[in-house]
Amino acid sequence: MSAIEDQIKLRARDLEFDDCRITTSASPETSARLKDWLDEGCHGEMGYLERNAHKRVDPQLVLQNSRSVISLATAYSGYSNARSDGADVTAAGSAPHGVIARYARFADYHDVLGERLKTLTEYVDEIAKVESRSLWYVDTGPILERDLAQRAGLGFIGKHTNLISRRLGNWIFLSEIITTAALAPDEPEKNRCGTCSACIASCPTGAITKPFHLDSRLCISYLTIELKGSIPEELRPAIGDRIYGCDDCLAACPWNRFAREGSLMKRAARPDFDQPALLELLELDQAGFKARFRGTPMLRTKRRGILRNVCVALGNVGDESALPGLRRAAEDVEPLIAEHAQWAIGQIEGRTGRN
């Protein structure tokens, strides 16, 4: 390999990225759809998406004189035997357990990938034929990473609005390097969903309102992670025993039959997050919460957010054995936890005929 693009891809493989493709830093062709989506309010309370929308549709506002984007995929498939669907399978009389989205059953991917992205970015600037400047992002920058990844040929955006790789399925983390170096782009990928609508049918809340359109306000991942306040009561039953995110639409995708394990995330796996005991989580104080979730993406949801979700899950799958813990939670100094604990108590008492 001699071309600079081949050298970059070889270095990416050495750093254990599972795929690497290149595109230009021109504005994504789908930019107009972002404005329509925001105008409909589908971003919910994620105000940052609206505040930096102008940068997302114009990469030159992210890095002036940028010429290229290096798009990278890292697989996280195959490291867990726990469910991903949130269905209630708690056996009668057994301690209830919760479901965490598969991507969060690892050390924080921002940290795991960030270290290698920094190394790859330095390499790009080092081998560029002219002086270049580059910035790297992993789910943090104001860019339309899935749109750019599709244009780079890394995969295609499915009807569930996530990127699907023909080589890796949709269990992948995306990251990118935007650079002023002029690199030869790869061929874009075309959509390969065909007539399949498995992801749409699988969504518990109907958040995929039509193909390629997600209303975040209905999405369980949004409700359990991004939403900072109270979860709407009418949506709580659909959450089941999920306590952080939802994988249903991802798990339904038939392209996952080609999913492959990647070595990088395998070493960062957290088996203790496969089926966490809900009543144990409910007892966590602030210090205990930080100790349990330090170095994971769940830390940013804070104790009040995770315990809010735990209360909802217990309200859906708990029995009378959960009531003592929920009554203590109903006295928590954090009003958000107390409110959801009260709801959960009412749900369990209603099922057991104790009210």
Per-residue pLDDT of the chain (355 residues; tens, 9 = 90+): 469 999 999 999 999 999 999 999 999 887 789 999 999 999 999 999 999 999 999 999 999 999 999 999 999 986 444 455 544 444 445 789 999 999 999 999 999 999 999 999 999 999 997 789 999 999 888 999 999 999 999 999 999 999 999 999 999 999 999 999 999 999 999 999 999 999 999 999 999 999 999 999 999 999 999 999 999 999 999 999 999 999 999 999 999 998 888 889 999 999 999 999 999 999 999 999 999 999 999 999 999 999 999 999 999 999 999 999 999 999 999 999 999 999 999 999 999 876 5
> Using CA atoms, how far apart are residues 79 and 271, in angstroms rounded to an integer?
8
pLDDT score, position 2: 61
Distance of CA 211 to the CA centre of its chain: 19
* Sign of the CA dihedral running 94, 99, 104, 106: positive
pLDDT score, position 91: 46
pLDDT score, position 29: 81
> Residue 46 is encoded by which pair of tokens?
């994620």
> Residue 20 is encoded by which pair of tokens?
């690497």
Q: Are the C-beta atoms of residues 212 and 204 closer than 8 Å to each other?
A: no
> Residue 138 is encoded by which pair of tokens?
């992993």
pLDDT score, position 122: 96
> Using CA atoms, how far apart are residues 61 and 171, in angstroms rounded to an integer?
30
64 CB-contact burial (10 Å; exposed 0-12 / middle 13-18 / buried 19+): exposed
Q: Which of 146, 108, 347, 101 is nearest to 245 (CA)?
A: 101
> Using CA atoms, how far apart are residues 280 and 283, in angstroms rounded to an integer?
5
Backbone angles phi and psi of 196, in degrees to 5: -65, 135
* 3-class state of residue 104 by DSSP: helix
> Using CA atoms, how far apart are residues 340 and 304, in angstroms rounded to an integer?
10
Q: Are the C-beta atoms of residues 120 and 20 closer than 8 Å to each other?
A: no
Q: How far is CA 328 from CA 157, 216, 316, 334, 354, in A?
A: 45, 32, 18, 12, 18
pLDDT score, position 82: 47
Domain ranges of the chain: 4-79+102-179, 198-249+272-352
> Rounded to two decimals, what is the model's pTM?
0.93
* Sign of the CA dihedral running 208, 213, 218, 221: positive
Q: Which residues are catalytic?
A: 139
pLDDT score, position 92: 47
Q: Which of 296, 293, 323, 320 is nearest to 311 (CA)?
A: 323
Backbone angles phi and psi of 102, in degrees to 5: -55, -40
Specify the DSSP class assigned to residue 16: T
